[in-house]
A and B are shown apart, each in its own frame.
Chain A
Amino acid sequence: MAELKKDQFIIKGKDTVRMESISRPSLSFWQDAWRRLRKNKSAVVGLCIVVLYALLAIFAPIFSPYTQSEMDVSSQNAFISAAHWLGCDSTGRDLWTRIWMGARVSLSIGLISAVLNMCVGAVIGGLCGFYGGKLDMIVMRIVDLLYGIPSLIITILVMMVLGKGITPLIVAMCVVGWIGTCRFVRGEVYRIKEQDFVMAAKVLGVPDFTIIIRHIIPNILGMLITNLCMAIPGAIFQEAFLSYIGLGITPPDCSWGVICKEGIQFLRYYPHQILIPAFFVCTTMLALNLLGNGLRDAVDPKLRGTE
């Protein structure tokens, strides 16, 4: 073995600059989630479909030569053609226009009622989880009771009291819709509240409000957004169901539920009147479900592949 001499070695010392330098840009939680989401093919497809449909719902009726309620006797039950891209319904209304006008109503009802449910549920659940005590006990007793009652029955009855239309529909869906979010947020807040960083903030004298805004909300936001994305198809589903049984949207307004209801009557002779709207309803639900699954995996990688 060759002899090692001291002068063969050079003391390079610590390169403090390189040690401390960050070789890759640091990613915030959301950048990281977005990166994971982009890698998920089905979620990207879902996102594209949702964006495409939203754009079509906004712009397609504007550029269409027809209106949603304009009847044309000569083209009753017309099949797909150059003039009517998706054919016409039994009173000669252009289906392409009607579907996108319906999409405006259906998608906005889905979004608004899901967001409202989430906000109400998150505030009540958050307060209960954070402060606990008597308030928590009372609210949770009420929530447990309401949870046992089939929500659709209450929604139907509230619709009957409030009358038909878009606003009553949203209100009716929110009467019991917040309960799920409330339970979930309460559980999460309760769990996070017990963790050390919240304790540290408390010891440092940070006011409750700041703790909630700075520490609790960012920790549950990912889950909340995922929940929201999963709740939208549910809300669209419910709207379509209520309109279908004649309680939701009524003409002249139209929604996907209304279009399907009208189309089903002519199933035997003019199947395109139900199959085409059905295609759009199903692809929307599918896209939102895929996006929701992708989001869940993106904000909480632990859950990936379990479902």
Chain B
Amino acid sequence: MAKYILKRVVAAILTIWVLITIVFFLVRLMPGEPFTSAKLTPEVKANMEAYYGFDKPMIVQYGTYMANLLQGDFGYSMKYTNRTVNDLIGETFPYSADLGIRGLVMAVSIGLILGIISARNRGKKIDFFCVIVAVLGTSIPDFIMGAVLQYFFGIKWGLFPVARYEGIEYTILPAFALSFYTLASVSRIMRASMLEVTSQDYIKTARSKGVSELRITCKHQIRNAIMPVMTVMGPTVASVLTGTFVIESIFAIPGMGRHYVQSVSNNDYSMVLGMTVFYGIFLVLCNLIVDVLYGVADPRVRIGKK
């Protein structure tokens, strides 16, 4: 077990390093300059470039950046004067994290329940309904879901606040819009794996022993069927996270996704770099946790070839 975890941790660190390196050099390759204001005289511009270290060779900049990063310092923003990337992340990330966690919990819990109900009632009307929800979910892009929800529930029927993020009732629409796609895919995977498990010998054994249906579902089916859902949790976290980019701008939530999109269009190099690295590390760590948990839950994974 320790060997398995160690292997995953080393792989994760390597991935993070490759990610930072790729992102660093890609960001330096970007066209457009961060200091483009017409008021800047050449001297001032040169001073600013010296201040941010752009006059040094690329490899030195890379070294400095990595050294700072190891101390947890993501650098300065170039557009928002005198503010560090750490500040902005610290300010905006709680909103995104809150929204993301709500979305994720909603997606996984509703998705699992739909999948289980659907598999238990295979071929009946309720199964058909769940399958339709699943197909719809994977067919509706999240920004469209967000806009449609906002229009009908917020503007037309006035059931929920239209925008901003100031209380529990503000979180429901964006969290649901964010979770819908994931909810659908979780319910599809859960349904498929529940059906697969149903034909296994141990279920037949349990049934022939006279174990009640409810107990079979809870104790035998769900516990075994949930494994494939766990494998997709890594990509799921990623899709929820990138979903926040658009959902936050639709619902005017002051989160990190909205800032990221703005920095992209502002050519704010250090901001894009810092946030991308932050997102990347976050996602790689999420994947690592999922991998380790998977190894704990299913011994075959750590003994197996891969």
Contacts and interface: CB of A to CB of B under 8 A. Distances in A.
B48 interface: no
A184 interface: no
A145 B272 CA distance: 22
A271 B151 contact: yes
Contacts of B261: 245-246
Which 3 A-B residue pairings sit nearest by Cβ, starting from the closest?
A: A285-B139, A148-B15, A286-B139
A264 B143 contact: yes
A275 B242 contact: no
Interface string A267-307: 11001001100100111011001100000000000000111
A115 interface: no
For the side of the interface on B, what is the size category? 35 or more
Contacts of B279: 150, 153
B139 A282 contact: yes
Given A148-B287, A275-B151, A153 B136 contact: no
A158 B249 CA distance: 22
Interface stretch (A23-31, A56-64, A78-86, A233-241): A233-241
Contacts of B280: 149-150, 153
B264 A245 contact: yes
A152 interface: yes
A218 interface: no
B147 A274 contact: yes
A275 B272 contact: no
Given A157-B276, A160-B272, A245-B264, 10 more contacts: A145-B18, A148-B287, A149-B15, A152-B238, A152-B242, A160-B30, A161-B30, A163-B31, A267-B150, A282-B139
B23 A157 contact: yes
Interface residues of A, number: 41
Given A145-B18, A240-B141, A285-B138, A278 B23 contact: no
Interface of A: 144-145, 148-150, 152-154, 156-158, 160-161, 163, 233, 237, 240-241, 244-247, 260, 263-264, 267-268, 271, 274-275, 278, 281-283, 285-286, 289-290, 305-307
Interface string B137-162: 01111011001101100010000000
Interface string B202-227: 00000000000000000000000000
Contact of A157 (B26, B138, B139): B26
A289 B139 contact: yes
B245 interface: yes
Contact of A154 (B22, B143, B150, B284): B22
B147 A289 contact: no
Given A150-B238, A152-B238, A307 B148 contact: no
A151 to B, nearest CB: 8
Nearest to A160: B30
Dominant secondary structure of chain A at its interface with chain B: helix
Contact of A246 (B141, B147, B148, B265): B265
Dominant secondary structure of chain B at its interface with chain A: helix
21 contacts: A144-B11, A149-B280, A150-B238, A153-B276, A154-B22, A161-B26, A161-B31, A237-B141, A241-B141, A245-B245, A245-B249, A246-B261, A246-B265, A260-B144, A267-B151, A268-B151, A275-B151, A282-B136, A282-B139, A282-B144, A305-B195
B259 interface: no
B272 A278 contact: no
B141 A156 contact: no
Contacts of A144: 11
Interface in B239-286: 241-242, 245-246, 249-250, 261, 264-265, 272, 276, 279-280, 283-284
B196 interface: yes
Nearest to A152: B242
Contacts of B9: none
Contact of A268 (B19, B22, B26, B155): B155
A148 B11 contact: yes
Interface in B141-196: 141, 143-144, 147-148, 150-151, 155, 188, 191-192, 195-196
